[in-house]
Amino acid sequence: MGTEFESFFECCVVPFRRTSAGTEFCLVTPRTENRWEFPKIRLDAPGTCEPDRVLEAANLAGLRGDVTSGEPLGSFVATRQNQTRNMVGFLMHVEHVEDAWPSEESHRRIWCLPEEARVRIRRKPLRRFIDLALQNVRQGHHNGSAHERPDRP
């Protein structure tokens, strides 16, 4: 008898801001846990993760800004126990952080430098989004407008 796998689709925003200390990323976790991730939403169907949808996740975390590209920063598929998780991430330049935010009663929010973010995020595929985001920020793709990614060998 085969094992049933549940597949689900998620879309996350990789929110960053520039400070005098460097590039910082915003992470969230449920108040009852210590499982830090980027703000995300669950999707009804594959292929429905678009920049406008990902802003919903950012808004729930009290973050205002612009997705830097119409193209995803990256994606991954991970299988754990009986679940297959399909995640797509978009880079977002944060321009404003709300003091009060819709999910603050159920979640905590923290800003941290890349090194700390890598330690806090347990899932390796999510940590990869930090490196991809830093590459984009260093290339100047963080002004809040849509852009084309340069061809890379």
Residue with more model confidence, 72 or 44: 72
- Alpha carbon distance 116, 143 (integer Å): 24
37: DSSP letter? B
Q: Give the CATH number, domain containing residue 48.
A: 3.90.79.10
Q: Are 87 and 71 in contact (CB under 8 A)?
A: no
Domain count of the fold of the chain? 1
pTM comes to 0.85
Confirm whether 106 is domain-assigned.
yes
Confirm whether 71 is domain-assigned.
yes
- Alpha carbon distance 26, 151 (integer Å): 28
Q: What is the mean pLDDT of the chain?
A: 87
- Alpha carbon distance 112, 19 (integer Å): 11
What's the whole-number mean pLDDT along residues 9-20? Answer: 95
- Predicted local confidence at residue 30, as pLDDT: 96
Give Cβ neighbours of residue 99 (< 8 Å, ≥ 6 apart). Answer: 62
Q: At residue 148, does pLDDT exceed 80? A: no
pLDDT band with cut points at 50, 70 and 90 for residue 46? confident
Instruction: Tell me how far CA of residue 44 lies from CA of 50, 80, 113, in angstroms.
Output: 13, 20, 32
Confirm whether 132 is domain-assigned.
yes
Confirm whether 144 is domain-assigned.
no
Q: At residue 116, does pLDDT exceed 70? A: yes
- Predicted local confidence at residue 2, as pLDDT: 58
Confirm whether 60 is domain-assigned.
yes
Which region among 13-22, 23-32, 77-86, 140-149 has the lowest average model confidence (pLDDT)? 140-149
Q: Which two tokens stand for residue 130?
A: 């930090």
Widest CA span in the chain = 58
Confirm whether 152 is domain-assigned.
no
pLDDT band with cut points at 50, 70 and 90 for residue 149? very low
Residue range(s) defining the domain that contains residue 50: 6-138
Confirm whether 126 is domain-assigned.
yes
Confirm whether 146 is domain-assigned.
no
